[in-house]
Amino acid sequence: MSDTLNLAKELISRQSVTPEDAECQSIMARRLEALGFSIDHLRFGEVDNLWARRGSEGPLFVFAGHTDVVPTGPESDWRHPPFSPTEENGLLYGRGATDMKGSLAAMITATERFIAQHPKHQGSIGYLITSDEEGLAIEGTVKVIEWLQARNEAIDWCLVGEPTSSDKVADVIKNGRRGSLGATLTVRGTQGHVAYPHLAKNPVHLVAPVLAELVAMQWDNGNDSFPPTTFQISNIQAGTGATNVIPGDLTVLFNFRFSTEITDAELRSQVETILQEHPLDYHIDWQLSGQPFLTPKGELVDATQAAIKTICGYETELSTSGGTSDGRFIAPTGAQVLELGPLNATIHKVDEHVAIDELDTLSEIYQQILNNLLT
């Protein structure tokens, strides 16, 4: 049994449902402290965060990730208890196996082997770990970044261990992410009897043309790194549940995943222009979850692609698809940010699992990235 598998199982056995850490960071900190890392346990609100650093000189390479996991749903639906890591047919089952305790284990064992071979490596190695990635994400990485900036500590290269792979480990790495802009639109009408519509005002009817216009809108054409911006309605609520009552108001939730071809301010302006062209009594609340970011080809991309070629023997695809990650808080500091982790096919699902041999491969890739950048 490999060190990476052992550590992954130890972490998975901790019931760290967001925002709980359940001592996962302490397990990691003990191993890092034995390697000469200075350790800072940072608690903001109800969230535990870990900052660890070895070395004081630049450049600073950072492994970033999270110890919290999403809820399991009914445990009776799982083949094996979700917090009892189980090996079966070459797979490791358990909540967090891919998202992202397997990656965390691979980071630690890669660092241990690298330091054993290069105790006087160039630059510094850091770890930025939070228990607030799967939740509200307001007391985690974003707060640690603020803390680092107050200490004038700047990250040069950051590798986030999110599960990025599609068909085989490391076949896809994320060198950027789209921005995420959400909104809650409330349209006020007048409740009444469906038989007397002239005495009421139906907000569903009033907003329908607006939603049709928003759905049909071409926001941008994307670019070489990003697909076109998308608009999706995620929830509509109205009415009392009775078929003979016209609703008094309506709430619509929608979200933009946007490219670097448009700004969140431009999206807000275009939406509100459309709203104002219709006879609506409305209120809208906007929630910006993150700006788009892109790490172009350069030191980190080159080192990572070369590492994958060395360990796996194949080329990897650069992609900006998928959801958001904590990379959105790190990239604005000027750091080069990439995401690389296991296959993402079972993340957040019942029976989440990872191929055991891919954990060892991932650890070897991480070690080779350190070799490429810090020796």
Residue range 153-209, pLDDT digits in tens: 999 999 999 999 999 999 999 999 999 999 999 999 999 999 999 999 999 999 999
* Helix 102-117 with 24-33: angle, nearest 10 deg: 10
* pLDDT over 90 (residue 82): yes
What is the average per-residue pLDDT within 287-301?
95
Per-residue confidence (pLDDT) for residue 360, from 0 to 100: 97
Q: Are 340 and 164 in contact (CB under 8 A)?
A: yes
The b-or-e profile of 70-100 (16+ CB within 10 A means b, else e) is: bebeeeeebeeebbebbeeeebbbbbbbbbb
| CA atoms of 81 and 298, how far apart (whole Å) | 43
Checking phi first, is residue 206 left (phi over 0); if not, alpha (psi -120 to 50) or beta? alpha
> Which residues does the annotation mark as catalytic?
68, 133
Q: Which residues pair with 60 in a beta bridge?
A: 124
* pLDDT over 90 (residue 221): yes
Both structure tokens of 61: 């390479």
* Helix 356-374 with 299-312: angle, nearest 10 deg: 130
Q: What percent of the chain has pLDDT over 90?
A: 98
Both structure tokens of 219: 């926001």
Q: Are 236 and 251 in contact (CB under 8 A)?
A: yes
What is the average per-residue pLDDT within 224-229?
94
What is the average per-residue pLDDT within 17-45?
98
| CA atoms of 38 and 84, how far apart (whole Å) | 31
* Chain mean position to CA 261: 22
Per-residue confidence (pLDDT) for residue 309, from 0 to 100: 98
